[in-house]
Chains A and B, each alone.
Chain A
Amino acid sequence: GAGVSQTPSNKVTEKGKYVELRCDPISGHTALYWYRQSLGQGPEFLIYFQGTGAADDSGLPNDRFFAVRPEGSVSTLKIQRTERGDSAVYLCASSLTGGGAAGDTQYFGPGTRLTVL
Protein backbone atom coordinates (compact mmCIF):
# COMPACT_ATOMS: atom_id res chain seq x y z
CA GLY A 1 0.00 0.00 0.00
CA ALA A 2 1.13 3.49 -0.82
CA GLY A 3 2.11 5.86 1.92
CA VAL A 4 1.41 9.55 2.24
CA SER A 5 2.58 11.46 -0.82
CA GLN A 6 3.28 15.15 -1.16
CA THR A 7 3.88 17.34 -4.18
CA PRO A 8 5.96 19.14 -5.11
CA SER A 9 8.99 17.83 -3.25
CA ASN A 10 10.66 21.22 -3.61
CA LYS A 11 9.18 24.64 -4.28
CA VAL A 12 11.14 27.83 -4.75
CA THR A 13 9.17 31.04 -4.93
CA GLU A 14 9.65 34.75 -4.59
CA LYS A 15 8.51 36.85 -1.68
CA GLY A 16 4.93 37.93 -2.11
CA LYS A 17 3.88 35.05 -4.35
CA TYR A 18 1.12 32.51 -3.72
CA VAL A 19 1.90 28.79 -3.33
CA GLU A 20 -0.10 25.60 -3.04
CA LEU A 21 1.23 22.41 -1.50
CA ARG A 22 -0.59 19.12 -2.03
CA CYS A 23 -0.98 16.08 0.21
CA ASP A 24 -2.40 12.70 -0.75
CA PRO A 25 -3.06 10.65 2.42
CA ILE A 26 -3.11 6.91 2.88
CA SER A 27 -6.29 5.51 1.37
CA GLY A 28 -9.04 5.13 3.98
CA HIS A 29 -7.47 7.48 6.54
CA THR A 30 -10.06 9.96 7.75
CA ALA A 31 -7.68 12.25 9.61
CA LEU A 32 -5.09 14.47 7.92
CA TYR A 33 -2.56 16.82 9.49
CA TRP A 34 -0.20 19.52 8.33
CA TYR A 35 3.00 20.34 10.18
CA ARG A 36 5.85 22.71 9.49
CA GLN A 37 9.49 21.93 10.27
CA SER A 38 12.08 24.66 10.36
CA LEU A 39 15.79 23.95 10.36
CA GLY A 40 16.97 22.48 13.63
CA GLN A 41 13.47 22.14 15.02
CA GLY A 42 10.90 19.42 15.39
CA PRO A 43 7.70 19.52 13.36
CA GLU A 44 5.12 22.09 14.54
CA PHE A 45 1.41 21.47 14.16
CA LEU A 46 -0.53 23.66 11.75
CA ILE A 47 -3.97 22.15 11.11
CA TYR A 48 -5.92 18.91 11.46
CA PHE A 49 -8.80 17.67 9.30
CA GLN A 50 -11.37 15.09 10.28
CA GLY A 51 -12.99 14.19 7.00
CA THR A 52 -13.65 17.38 5.04
CA GLY A 53 -13.71 19.76 7.99
CA ALA A 54 -10.87 21.45 9.82
CA ALA A 55 -11.21 20.10 13.37
CA ASP A 56 -8.31 22.16 14.73
CA ASP A 57 -6.58 25.03 12.93
CA SER A 58 -4.97 26.51 16.02
CA GLY A 59 -1.46 26.09 14.63
CA LEU A 60 -1.89 28.23 11.52
CA PRO A 61 0.43 31.19 12.11
CA ASN A 62 -1.74 33.87 10.47
CA ASP A 63 -4.45 34.42 7.90
CA ARG A 64 -2.04 34.05 4.99
CA PHE A 65 -2.21 30.30 5.60
CA PHE A 66 -5.25 28.29 4.60
CA ALA A 67 -5.91 24.60 3.95
CA VAL A 68 -8.73 22.66 2.37
CA ARG A 69 -9.77 19.05 2.02
CA PRO A 70 -12.94 19.29 -0.09
CA GLU A 71 -13.60 15.57 -0.64
CA GLY A 72 -12.12 14.19 2.53
CA SER A 73 -9.05 12.81 0.82
CA VAL A 74 -6.46 15.07 -0.86
CA SER A 75 -5.61 18.27 0.96
CA THR A 76 -4.03 21.51 -0.24
CA LEU A 77 -2.16 23.95 1.96
CA LYS A 78 -2.28 27.44 0.53
CA ILE A 79 0.04 30.28 1.46
CA GLN A 80 -0.65 33.80 0.25
CA ARG A 81 1.87 36.65 0.04
CA THR A 82 4.74 34.39 1.01
CA GLU A 83 7.46 35.75 3.26
CA ARG A 84 11.05 34.60 3.72
CA GLY A 85 10.13 33.35 7.17
CA ASP A 86 7.73 30.84 5.59
CA SER A 87 10.72 28.86 4.29
CA ALA A 88 10.54 25.42 5.87
CA VAL A 89 9.66 21.80 5.17
CA TYR A 90 5.90 21.33 5.18
CA LEU A 91 4.91 17.87 6.32
CA CYS A 92 1.63 16.09 5.88
CA ALA A 93 0.49 13.11 7.93
CA SER A 94 -2.60 10.93 8.00
CA SER A 95 -4.13 8.57 10.52
CA LEU A 96 -6.98 6.11 10.44
CA THR A 97 -9.43 7.74 12.84
CA GLY A 98 -7.97 10.84 14.50
CA GLY A 99 -9.14 12.19 17.87
CA GLY A 100 -6.41 10.77 20.08
CA ALA A 101 -7.92 7.30 19.98
CA ALA A 102 -5.66 4.60 21.34
CA GLY A 103 -3.68 2.98 18.57
CA ASP A 104 -4.20 5.85 16.15
CA THR A 105 -0.80 6.54 14.66
CA GLN A 106 0.14 9.34 12.30
CA TYR A 107 2.07 8.39 9.18
CA PHE A 108 4.14 11.10 7.58
CA GLY A 109 4.85 11.98 4.00
CA PRO A 110 8.24 13.05 2.64
CA GLY A 111 7.45 16.75 2.92
CA THR A 112 7.64 19.74 0.61
CA ARG A 113 10.68 21.96 1.03
CA LEU A 114 9.53 25.54 0.49
CA THR A 115 12.11 28.24 -0.13
CA VAL A 116 10.99 31.84 -0.33
CA LEU A 117 13.60 34.10 -1.90
Chain B
Amino acid sequence: AQSVSQHNHHVILSEAASLELGCNYSYGGTVNLFWYVQYPGQHLQLLLKYFSGDPLVKGIKGFEAEFIKSKFSFNLRKPSVQWSDTAEYFCAVNAATGGGNKLTFGTGTQLKVEL
Protein backbone atom coordinates (compact mmCIF):
# COMPACT_ATOMS: atom_id res chain seq x y z
CA ALA B 1 0.00 0.00 0.00
CA GLN B 2 1.12 3.53 -0.71
CA SER B 3 1.54 6.17 1.96
CA VAL B 4 2.65 9.81 1.97
CA SER B 5 4.14 11.78 4.83
CA GLN B 6 4.21 15.54 5.07
CA HIS B 7 6.23 16.45 8.11
CA ASN B 8 5.36 20.12 8.36
CA HIS B 9 1.72 20.63 9.30
CA HIS B 10 1.84 24.39 9.78
CA VAL B 11 4.43 26.78 8.37
CA ILE B 12 4.53 30.53 8.88
CA LEU B 13 6.86 32.64 6.76
CA SER B 14 7.43 36.27 6.01
CA GLU B 15 7.14 37.52 2.46
CA ALA B 16 10.30 36.95 0.41
CA ALA B 17 11.43 34.07 2.61
CA SER B 18 12.37 30.80 0.95
CA LEU B 19 10.07 27.79 1.24
CA GLU B 20 10.70 24.09 1.38
CA LEU B 21 7.91 21.65 2.24
CA GLY B 22 8.85 18.05 2.84
CA CYS B 23 7.13 15.07 1.26
CA ASN B 24 8.15 11.42 1.60
CA TYR B 25 6.31 8.48 0.17
CA SER B 26 6.30 4.76 0.66
CA TYR B 27 5.72 2.48 -2.30
CA GLY B 28 7.64 -0.41 -3.80
CA GLY B 29 7.14 0.41 -7.47
CA THR B 30 7.39 3.27 -9.93
CA VAL B 31 5.32 6.26 -8.96
CA ASN B 32 3.87 9.48 -10.30
CA LEU B 33 4.16 12.40 -7.90
CA PHE B 34 2.03 15.51 -7.50
CA TRP B 35 1.70 18.65 -5.48
CA TYR B 36 -1.76 20.15 -5.22
CA VAL B 37 -2.64 23.49 -3.65
CA GLN B 38 -5.88 24.66 -2.09
CA TYR B 39 -6.21 28.43 -1.71
CA PRO B 40 -8.71 29.71 0.86
CA GLY B 41 -12.24 29.15 -0.40
CA GLN B 42 -11.09 27.41 -3.57
CA HIS B 43 -10.83 23.84 -4.73
CA LEU B 44 -7.72 21.70 -5.13
CA GLN B 45 -5.53 22.76 -8.03
CA LEU B 46 -2.52 21.06 -9.53
CA LEU B 47 0.72 22.87 -8.77
CA LEU B 48 3.15 20.50 -10.49
CA LYS B 49 3.68 16.85 -11.30
CA TYR B 50 6.44 14.36 -11.98
CA PHE B 51 6.00 11.34 -14.24
CA SER B 52 9.47 10.66 -15.63
CA GLY B 53 12.59 12.35 -16.93
CA ASP B 54 14.23 15.35 -15.28
CA PRO B 55 13.74 14.93 -11.52
CA LEU B 56 13.58 18.70 -11.06
CA VAL B 57 10.07 19.76 -12.00
CA LYS B 58 8.91 23.32 -12.42
CA GLY B 59 5.30 24.27 -11.83
CA ILE B 60 3.10 27.30 -11.77
CA LYS B 61 3.74 30.48 -9.77
CA GLY B 62 7.47 29.85 -9.41
CA PHE B 63 7.19 26.57 -7.52
CA GLU B 64 9.48 23.62 -8.17
CA ALA B 65 9.96 20.17 -6.73
CA GLU B 66 12.76 17.65 -6.84
CA PHE B 67 12.23 13.91 -6.98
CA ILE B 68 15.01 12.10 -5.12
CA LYS B 69 14.38 8.41 -5.72
CA SER B 70 16.93 7.19 -3.18
CA LYS B 71 15.23 9.19 -0.45
CA PHE B 72 11.65 8.55 -1.60
CA SER B 73 11.18 12.30 -1.43
CA PHE B 74 9.48 14.98 -3.50
CA ASN B 75 10.02 18.24 -1.66
CA LEU B 76 8.37 21.45 -2.82
CA ARG B 77 10.39 24.66 -3.00
CA LYS B 78 9.97 28.31 -3.83
CA PRO B 79 12.85 30.80 -3.49
CA SER B 80 10.71 33.77 -2.45
CA VAL B 81 7.15 33.40 -1.19
CA GLN B 82 4.39 35.95 -1.55
CA TRP B 83 1.41 36.70 0.63
CA SER B 84 -0.79 35.17 -2.09
CA ASP B 85 0.92 31.79 -1.55
CA THR B 86 -1.01 31.40 1.69
CA ALA B 87 -2.79 28.08 1.17
CA GLU B 88 -2.80 24.42 2.05
CA TYR B 89 -0.40 22.23 0.11
CA PHE B 90 -0.88 18.51 -0.48
CA CYS B 91 1.62 16.01 -1.77
CA ALA B 92 0.16 12.99 -3.56
CA VAL B 93 1.35 9.80 -5.25
CA ASN B 94 -0.08 7.11 -7.48
CA ALA B 95 1.33 3.99 -9.03
CA ALA B 96 2.72 4.52 -12.52
CA THR B 97 1.69 1.04 -13.61
CA GLY B 98 -0.55 -1.72 -12.35
CA GLY B 99 -1.93 0.09 -9.35
CA GLY B 100 -4.74 1.99 -10.91
CA ASN B 101 -4.88 5.73 -10.85
CA LYS B 102 -6.04 6.43 -7.32
CA LEU B 103 -4.11 9.14 -5.54
CA THR B 104 -2.79 8.77 -2.03
CA PHE B 105 -2.46 12.14 -0.32
CA GLY B 106 -0.46 13.38 2.61
CA THR B 107 -2.21 15.21 5.44
CA GLY B 108 -1.31 18.60 4.01
CA THR B 109 0.79 21.59 5.08
CA GLN B 110 -0.93 24.83 5.95
CA LEU B 111 1.28 27.71 4.81
CA LYS B 112 0.70 31.21 6.07
CA VAL B 113 2.73 34.05 4.56
CA GLU B 114 2.82 37.24 6.56
CA LEU B 115 3.39 40.69 5.12
Contact = CB atoms under 8 A, between A and B. Distances in A.
Interface of A: 31, 33, 35, 40-45, 48, 55-56, 58-59, 91, 95, 98-111
B46 interface: yes
A56 B100 CA distance: 8
Contact of A100 (B4, B97, B104, B107): B97
B51 interface: yes
A65 to B, nearest CB: 15
Interface of B: 4, 32, 34, 36, 42-46, 49, 51-52, 90, 92, 94-108
B43 A111 contact: yes
B100 A48 contact: yes
A91 B101 contact: no
A99 B32 contact: no
Given A41-B108, A42-B108, A56-B102, 12 more contacts: A40-B108, A42-B106, A42-B107, A48-B101, A55-B100, A95-B101, A98-B101, A100-B101, A103-B51, A104-B101, A105-B46, A108-B36
A45 B2 CA distance: 12
B84 to A, nearest CB: 20
Interface SS, B side: loop
21 contacts: A33-B101, A35-B103, A42-B4, A42-B106, A43-B44, A44-B105, A45-B103, A45-B104, A48-B100, A56-B100, A56-B102, A91-B43, A98-B101, A99-B101, A100-B32, A102-B32, A102-B52, A102-B96, A108-B44, A110-B42, A110-B43
Contacts of B36: 108
A42 B90 CA distance: 7
A57 to B, nearest CB: 10
A59 B21 CA distance: 27
B83 to A, nearest CB: 23
Contacts of B92: 42
Nearest to B96: A100
A88 to B, nearest CB: 14
A68 to B, nearest CB: 18
Contacts of B98: 100
